[in-house]
Structure 1
């Protein structure tokens, strides 16, 4: 399973499992169930592609060889090099950027929580120069000293719910999902809704029977310091209206819990998507590598790169029908060098025409044995290779 295939499976699984939440579950008042479902959806999108695919491991990229020119004047002095995998390059560049932004925000928050805030009893107080706000981070409750005793009673009760239930862990989990799936806006939407669900849970615990007074305190402090996305803030502005609506909403009947059974066909559908992808892979002959058999040393053509290029140059013949039709272009052939060094499972990844495809496959299948790839421990394993062959007319 390649990185691209894993990301497709993971994205499809998440979208399918997230759909019933968007359509139904978020309208209910079973907030703990909503929290659990969002966490389960995120975890399933990470794990399910592996689970369905059995013992496969992710191959970040197959090894690429430099493009070979096939024509009446084929150069024999070209060397084999690793081809740039643009998909992986773009993907990991995005991961690097978003991980950097996340770690920067986290470092700023840690400085406030562990350096700036001073402990007093079981609470941590911000300097008076800071805007009036309150938030929690793991077990720590941080607030501004300017709150009155009446306000502090509600605020601390609210933040203690976040701290006791470790809502920060939930947010950190989704933050990392957003880093590795930076291209998918659904993860960011789910992260936002998970944070909102945390607020519903804490509001339910804090307001008790005096919802009106609690809401007044909430509205009075909604213009405080905007909350960092990694914390839970009593006065988070973006969710004020929805929080008040939820506090005033009639509780969902217990029978509505059966609605969560609707997730079962969506889970089945997510598994089927991965299964169909896997089946298609097996039919096309993509190599399956056992877990732990990550290729450390790539396969090598016996005699070196120059010998391989000479072999290909001497054996590739431009098909006559392609010459007459003036057909040209680049055929990309994917193949597997097995544990014994034999070239197997050759297939065309990028086609030009039937005759050029057939010629490219013929010459690849006629190649002599290679030196097989090896793991870090020296175990000989299968490895996937790609070679672009450009057919060019004079």
Structure 2
């Protein structure tokens, strides 16, 4: 969710709670000035508390009990690995933008724009009335005479009144009332709550607070009139005579408002006693509770971004796609989380963006730079070593080149030379996504070739003419777990257990599971393999969880898979596959395979690779496949804790589910619940 939307939700939760406190405990007293400051402070606090957090308070809501049953397991869930059977396509599928979010965002923008225009129109109306009013003085008070009959009102230092419709006594009472508004700057309160309405129009508590604030300002103005010695009964009859007058605009202090009964009751009400003031102290624990909740949220957010060592989170590596993060339980005594890929320590790295990074001067200038700087290593030249090196690097937001590495090498000397030259590259024009500079991973093949006739180096990617690529792809109906990826993750985390028997015996390792989803959405072909016979208990646990899965549902999207090769049928790793006109895309793996989830068949795929002509394919022209969707689900069971001599340190695949047990000593009477 966008940070601004999260901020708005936090603000409106606080406003709702402050209003409920007022309605339940504070509404009945007569501390009108204190009530005014309560409303103002409630709004200001609500607007600013989400911006601050106190780490110590955050821990209050983040504690966990550590009874044996609670620390039995911790589950890390990464992205779902899905392929189209019977092909062996790798699973680099990327999620697509769900239109519901766009609809809700559009609705919010439209309605907010309406309220913004309404607000400025009301301001303009006041200025227009002011320009058409005649300025005079009555009893030493500057007033603007309204050109037509409407309710008297004030706006900051302007007092508007239609003097011809009021007797001298009534005019004096009106001026005393409006002078109170002007002297106490009540228009600031009105403007403050109106600005709040612009972005919180969807919160009914804000509208209720606006009404109560306006009423309280009228109470204060009425009180100001009575303090000048005006008879309360005479004043109340005067208010009754103004009941049916037209109101000018909504953002002013009107002399007459519709809640006349409440105003008269407040004028006749017995003053509240001093001990009642103690109720306002309840503001402090409410404010503390909101700050604590916000601090806890901030702590969880830091944990998800890897900034808090005590929190457990999953590692999702879908390149540029932000996948949902799920963690089964936070643990305070976890010694070592699953291996974290290097990308996780950096800011988000994209692979496919709207505007890819650009070398100064373009592609030809980059090729020339490589040709001018790469030196063929003497060792490789003497031994006749040649070949293509697949390099990878990241172009950061500021255009600098970082994280240069070899994806597929030829020889240590050649690999080192390619890395050396890439690190020498000048700053690029950074890639952008939605108008913002972002970090982008770039894949570049560099071919080292020896010319037998002339002892010089030829780098075949430096040629001006673009090479051709071959793309083979198919499309089929996609299936999703009911409720989507988040529900799938929740389903796994809630059901999978680290068997007590396996913990007692110190059994740990990887269980590689796979299952198929047929055209009806049924789960078939479940296969589970462990590394040894002692893994049988863990294998059975994974089988049990998969066997409990419900039928999968058809998704509105399609699943496209394929392979990209060069003219010699060699796979092209790192080719960009994008749905044209969107930011939906992925890259090919080491075997040239790709898999992508697309919204509809009317889209066009664009496949590009450095040094090759870009290919475009209409999805409607692709071959339709009715094969089953194969989903791989590797599960890592790992023991940790003081009772564990050694934790599993083997490889953990990118899409693995990690189940952490803390080791248990067998006690009498404790049995595996299954």
TM-score w.r.t. the length of structure 2 is 0.41
Q: Which deviates more, 26-35 or 8-17?
A: 8-17
> For 1:277-314, what per-residue CA distance to the aligned partner results, in whole angstroms no more than 9, with x for missing partners?
2222223227899xxx9x9313334259xxxxx9xx9x
- Aligned partners of 1:302 and 1:46: how far apart in 2? 41
> For 1:356-378, what per-residue CA distance to the aligned partner results, in whole angstroms no more than 9, with x for missing partners?
xxxxxxxxxxx99xxxxxxxxxx
Matched, 1:91 2:231: no
In the alignment, which residue of structure 2 is the partner of 1:34?
Answer: 35
> For 1:217-256, what per-residue CA distance to the aligned partner results, in whole angstroms no more than 9, with x for missing partners?
11111211125220111122x1211000000000111221
Residue in structure 2 matching 1:164, options 159, 183, 208: 183
In the alignment, which residue of structure 1 is the partner of 2:120?
Answer: 103
The structural deviation recorded for 1:324 is 5.2
Q: Which runs of 5 or more structure 1 residues have no equivalent in the other structure?
A: 55-68, 305-309, 329-351, 354-366, 369-384
- Aligned partners of 1:286 and 1:94: how far apart in 2? 37
> Which protein, 1 or 2, shows the higher relative CO under an 8 Å CA cutoff with sep ≥ 6?
1
The 8 Å contact of residues 17 and 270 in structure 1, kept in 2 or not, is answered as: no
The structural deviation recorded for 1:204 is 0.3
- Relative to 1, partners in 2 of residues 1:124 and 1:18: Cα closer, same or farther, differing over 3 Å? same
TM-score w.r.t. the length of structure 1 is 0.68
The 8 Å contact of residues 95 and 179 in structure 1, kept in 2 or not, is answered as: yes
The structural deviation recorded for 1:109 is 2.3
Secondary structure of the structure 1 residue equivalent to 2:270: coil
The structural deviation recorded for 1:4 is 2.8
The 8 Å contact of residues 31 and 201 in structure 1, kept in 2 or not, is answered as: yes
- Relative to 1, partners in 2 of residues 1:156 and 1:269: Cα closer, same or farther, differing over 3 Å? same
The structural deviation recorded for 1:81 is 9.7
The structural deviation recorded for 1:386 is 9.4
In the alignment, which residue of structure 2 is the partner of 1:50?
Answer: 51
- Relative to 1, partners in 2 of residues 1:193 and 1:79: Cα closer, same or farther, differing over 3 Å? closer
- Aligned partners of 1:227 and 1:283: how far apart in 2? 53
The 8 Å contact of residues 15 and 43 in structure 2, kept in 1 or not, is answered as: yes
The 8 Å contact of residues 158 and 203 in structure 1, kept in 2 or not, is answered as: yes
Whichever structure has more strand as a proportion of its residues is 2
Q: Which runs of 5 or more structure 2 residues have no equivalent in the other structure?
A: 56-81, 308-345, 348-397, 399-434, 445-469, 474-478, 480-511, 523-550, 553-572, 575-582, 587-595, 599-624, 628-674
Secondary structure of the structure 2 residue equivalent to 1:24: helix
Residue in structure 1 matching 2:84, options 48, 71, 76: 71
- Aligned partners of 2:261 and 2:585: how far apart in 1? 58
- Aligned partners of 1:286 and 1:266: how far apart in 2? 30
- Relative to 1, partners in 2 of residues 1:270 and 1:148: Cα closer, same or farther, differing over 3 Å? same
The structural deviation recorded for 1:93 is 2.6
1:116-265 alignment runs, 5 A limit: 116-121=132-137, 122-127=142-147, 130-146=148-164, 147-208=166-227, 209=229, 210-236=231-257, 238-265=258-285
The structural deviation recorded for 1:325 is 6.7
In the alignment, which residue of structure 2 is the partner of 1:64?
Answer: none
In the alignment, which residue of structure 2 is the partner of 1:390?
Answer: 597
- Relative to 1, partners in 2 of residues 1:90 and 1:159: Cα closer, same or farther, differing over 3 Å? same
Secondary structure of the structure 2 residue equivalent to 1:300: strand
Residue in structure 2 matching 1:302, options 442, 458, 461: 442
Secondary structure of the structure 2 residue equivalent to 1:230: coil
The 8 Å contact of residues 32 and 220 in structure 2, kept in 1 or not, is answered as: yes
> For 1:128-180, what per-residue CA distance to the aligned partner results, in whole angstroms no more than 9, with x for missing partners?
xx124210001110000221111011000000010111111111111110111
Q: Which deviates more, 267-276 or 248-257?
A: 267-276
- Relative to 1, partners in 2 of residues 1:284 and 1:219: Cα closer, same or farther, differing over 3 Å? same
- Relative to 1, partners in 2 of residues 1:49 and 1:79: Cα closer, same or farther, differing over 3 Å? closer
- Aligned partners of 1:198 and 1:324: how far apart in 2? 65
Secondary structure of the structure 1 residue equivalent to 2:144: strand
- Aligned partners of 2:98 and 2:32: how far apart in 1? 50
The 8 Å contact of residues 223 and 235 in structure 1, kept in 2 or not, is answered as: no
Secondary structure of the structure 2 residue equivalent to 1:120: strand
Matched, 1:285 2:305: yes
Secondary structure of the structure 2 residue equivalent to 1:133: coil
> For 1:173-231, what per-residue CA distance to the aligned partner results, in whole angstroms no more than 9, with x for missing partners?
11110111121111111111101000000000102341111111111112111252201
Secondary structure of the structure 1 residue equivalent to 2:154: strand
- Aligned partners of 1:30 and 1:41: how far apart in 2? 16
* Greater C-alpha Rg: 2
RMSD: 4.0
Q: Name the count of aligned residue pairs.
A: 311
The 8 Å contact of residues 150 and 248 in structure 2, kept in 1 or not, is answered as: no
Whichever structure has more helix as a proportion of its residues is 1
- Relative to 1, partners in 2 of residues 1:387 and 1:245: Cα closer, same or farther, differing over 3 Å? farther
- Relative to 1, partners in 2 of residues 1:112 and 1:126: Cα closer, same or farther, differing over 3 Å? same
In the alignment, which residue of structure 2 is the partner of 1:380?
Answer: none
Secondary structure of the structure 1 residue equivalent to 2:438: coil
In the alignment, which residue of structure 1 is the partner of 2:466?
Answer: none
> For 1:319-375, what per-residue CA distance to the aligned partner results, in whole angstroms no more than 9, with x for missing partners?
9724257769xxxxxxxxxxxxxxxxxxxxxxx99xxxxxxxxxxxxx99xxxxxxx
- Relative to 1, partners in 2 of residues 1:110 and 1:386: Cα closer, same or farther, differing over 3 Å? farther
- Relative to 1, partners in 2 of residues 1:169 and 1:286: Cα closer, same or farther, differing over 3 Å? farther
In the alignment, which residue of structure 1 is the partner of 2:9?
Answer: 8
